[in-house]
């Protein structure tokens, strides 16, 4: 009997990241971590085992991997032929669940059509998240696929948190603050339970700081506020995204600069943030290594905004017990962590420079009034856990027909307008 496994897929515009987890009782064990990168241009399949040992590093001709569907077929064939791995289900990261979806969902064509209506709310992510789902539905219609939403973790917010100060009918139509990076925050909250239970029950700010960046206020492990809102464009400046901006700037760009909505979208999503401020790079590592004063300014701006939002989130929590760094910048840039903690000094944060430089879990000095931690995020494990839980709940494979009754009805005119 072959090993039962779950495949986790996180698709981008030119790459498909995947992980395979073995199902062991009620638990999961990671087997393979890989990605197909350079789709359409210079496709390369890379994968490692749990110890980091390379399993494959193979280059393909562009015509062999012209799209996401081909990337999945190629990676799937390798998993099957080289490792005899045939997943019993696939879990997907889907950035936006809109007003309808607040928990992991078994996917069919109808659900995908609904999720397509939220493409305008996450144009960098949603189309790429849905492409592999459609490809697998077409190729393996009986293979259970589960969507896990980045917005779901924030859906328990108080209405005063999620409203904008605009007429109420817009909220009913779905124009509200959603929050993102929920799978990352959910993982960090669950991990804190096991490594720092005293902190996990308290008031914690988590900074998911990467090329996409946001922050979340956790109270007793639950999201109560986030820096991102209606789209993944709000809040902190990011690698190429502007973050918070006066709506009047958008009106100016359209009315005075005569830019089209598509040109404004491309600007705010692709030419702002660190790349816009520095004119050099969206990568903190490159900016850190640059002597150009614009690079230093971009880094200082990012740290300043993190500190600014920390004050806002601390106010939402009524105080602060700990700050957690996660994601690419948060996990790997000691210099950025140092800059940010300096901005948190008014909250009583005192950094231990040696612990910070060596990437320890706890990086605060004993005299610090708040805890400072570094926790590598694991969104893929979170997706695998949700997938396994849904398989168990619905007895996938023996009673697929139970899904329709548990699927929410379409709500709100936002979906209809965007369709």
Q: Catalytic residue positions?
A: 150
Q: To 10 degrees, what angle do helices 379-394 and 182-195 make?
A: 90
87/94 Cα distance (integer angstroms)? 19
DSSP string, 211-234: SSEEEEEEETTEEEEES--SSTTS
Contacting residues for 196 by C-beta, under 8 A, at least 6 apart:
322, 371, 373
Do 97 and 148 touch, CB atoms closer than 8 A?
no
Do 186 and 304 touch, CB atoms closer than 8 A?
no
Would you mind telling me the total number of residues written for the chain in this entry? 419
Q: Decide: residue 360, CB within 10 A, 0-12 exposed, 13-18 middle, 19+ buried.
A: middle
**CA angle (302 as vertex; 376, 201 as ends), nearest 5:** 45
From the CB of residue 198, how many other CB atoms can be counted at a distance below 10 Å?
10
Q: Which residues does residue 205 pair with via DSSP β-bridges, in sequence order?
A: 217, 323
3-state secondary structure of 235: coil
Identify the DSSP state of 198.
H
């Amino acid at each position: 009997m072959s090993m039962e496994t779950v495949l986790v897929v996180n698709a981008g515009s030119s790459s498909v990241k995947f992980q395979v987890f073995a199902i062991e009782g009620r638990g999961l064990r990671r087997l393979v971590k890989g990605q197909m990168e350079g789709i359409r241009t210079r496709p390369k399949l890379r994968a490692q085992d749990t110890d980091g040992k390379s399993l494959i590093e193979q280059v393909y001709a562009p015509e062999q991997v012209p799209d996401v569907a081909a990337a999945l077929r190629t990676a799937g064939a390798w998993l099957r032929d080289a490792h005899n791995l045939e997943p019993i289900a696939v879990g997907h990261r889907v950035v936006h669940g809109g007003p309808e979806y607040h928990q992991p969902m078994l996917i069919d064509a109808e659900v995908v059509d609904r999720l397509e209506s939220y493409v305008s709310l996450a144009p960098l992510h949603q189309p790429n998240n849905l492409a592999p789902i459609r490809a697998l539905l077409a190729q393996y219609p009986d293979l259970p696929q589960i969507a896990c939403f980045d917005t779901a973790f924030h859906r328990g917010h108080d209405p005063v948190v999620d409203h904008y100060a605009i007429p109420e009918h817009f909220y009913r139509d779905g124009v509200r603050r959603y929050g993102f990076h929920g799978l990352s925050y959910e993982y960090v909250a669950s991990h804190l339970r096991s490594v720092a239970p005293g902190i996990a029950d308290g008031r914690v700010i988590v900074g998911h700081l990467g090329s996409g960046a946001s922050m979340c206020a956790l109270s007793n492990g639950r999201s109560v506020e986030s820096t991102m809102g209606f789209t993944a464009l709000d809040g902190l400046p990011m690698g190429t995204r502007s973050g918070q901006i006066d709506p009047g700037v958008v009106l100016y760009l359209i009315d005075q600069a005569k830019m089209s909505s598509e040109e404004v979208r491309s600007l705010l999503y692709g030419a702002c943030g660190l790349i816009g401020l520095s004119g050099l790079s969206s990568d903190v590592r490159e900016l850190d290594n640059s002597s150009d004063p614009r690079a230093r300014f971009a880094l200082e701006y990012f740290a300043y905004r993190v500190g600014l939002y920390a004050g806002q989130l601390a106010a939402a929590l009524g105080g602060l017990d700990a700050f957690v760094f996660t994601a690419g910048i948060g996990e790997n840039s000691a210099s950025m962590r140092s800059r940010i903690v300096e901005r948190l000094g008014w909250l009583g944060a005192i950094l231990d420079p040696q612990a910070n430089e060596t990437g320890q879990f706890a990086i605060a000095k004993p005299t610090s009034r708040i805890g400072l931690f570094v926790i590598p995020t694991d969104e893929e494990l979170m997706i695998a856990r949700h997938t396994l839980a849904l398989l168990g709940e619905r007895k996938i494979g023996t009673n697929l027909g139970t899904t329709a009754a548990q699927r929410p009805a379409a709500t709100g005119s936002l979906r209809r307008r965007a369709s």
